[in-house]
Amino acid sequence: MRTLQACTCLITICLLLSCSKADVDRPTDPSRQESLTDVSYGPGPRQKFNIYLPANRNDTATTVLFFIHGGGWSAGNKNDYVSAIPTLRQLFPGSAFVLVNYRLFNTVNHSNPFPAQEEDVKACIETVMQNNAKYHISRKFVLWGQSAGAHLAALYAYKYGSSSFKPLAVIDQVGPTDMKSMYGQLANAELKALMKALIGDPETGDSVLYKSSSPLQYVSAASPPTLILHGTADDIVPYQQAQQLHERLQQHGVQHVYKLYPGEGHTLGGVAADVNSRVTAFLQTYLH
């Protein structure tokens, strides 16, 4: 089985496929494999996505995978993951893939605080789904995120899945799930300062925003199937975040797979093969 190692590890080599502005705006040809980059879903320079379309696609059967990058809500770029697209296309030749950029929190002037990132992910998903006929893709999709991207993927899946477009499933790879408890669990003073700047002080009136930005708060019996991957030695996002989500999903009877890796840190680098295998198997269930 081909692996998803290029997807599940941070990718530093960008093999960006280009297209002109005219390419972005023209109607797509469903008989051809196509790659459209830097498609706008909003007015800002970060409000863009890449979409990779399979040949012989249609708006009833062609499923979609959205990938949301991490980076502490303040760094990262969709283009870091472009080199994973050939592998994904080989594994899932009948699916489309969307790499999402979103506004980043500025740690210097504190512009784009939360919920800017949440709003952008929601807007991107809705833009693609509302234009599914243009791209000749269905409205059936899976969300996959890493770290901060996993937080944003799960937040959309649980918070908006019943009122907007509902994902078939979601992958939470080392993501925060309950922001207030995470603030208390963090031992790293810099990360606590980032959270306070991004969301506010959880001990004051900002506790409401902490709650509304927590995927855990929106889990219900209607939540989509979930794959949770985390390491016990994660010093960026404490593993208790995964445990809390697992317990909440259990309480509501939501189908999910929970894998905790003893001794693994935030990148899960020592268990890449197992992560690849689990992600592949999970996606094969829903990207059909």
pLDDT 10s digits, 197-213: 999 999 886 789 999 99
Name the residue with higher pLDDT: 3 or 98. Answer: 98
Do you find a cis peptide bond into 115, omega within 30 degrees of 0? yes
Sheet strands side by side (includes 48-53): 34-40, 48-53, 96-100, 64-68, 141-146, 169-173, 226-231, 256-261
Does position 23 have pLDDT exceeding 50, yes or no?
Answer: no
Q: Sorting pLDDT into bands at 50, 70 and 90, what band is 107? A: very high
pLDDT (0 to 100) of residue 3? 45
Give the pLDDT mean for 55-71. 98
- Residue 288 pLDDT level (bands cut at 50, 70, 90): confident
* Close Cβ partners of 201 (under 8 Å, ≥ 6 residues apart): none
CATH number of domain containing 15: 3.40.50.1820
| pTM over 0.85, yes/no | yes
Q: Could you read off the pLDDT of 152-192 as tens digits, one per residue? A: 999 999 999 878 799 999 999 999 999 999 999 999 999 99
25 vs 24, higher pLDDT: 25
> Helices in the chain by DSSP H: which ranges?
5-8, 21-25, 85-91, 116-130, 132-135, 148-159, 179-185, 189-199, 207-212, 240-251, 272-286
How many Å separate Cα 218 from the centre of its chain? 17
- The domain of 189 spans 5-286
Per-residue pLDDT band for 25 (boundaries 50, 70, 90) equals low
Q: Residue range 55-79: average pLDDT?
A: 99
The pLDDT score that the predictor gives to residue 164 is: 79
Q: What domain count does the chain have?
A: 1
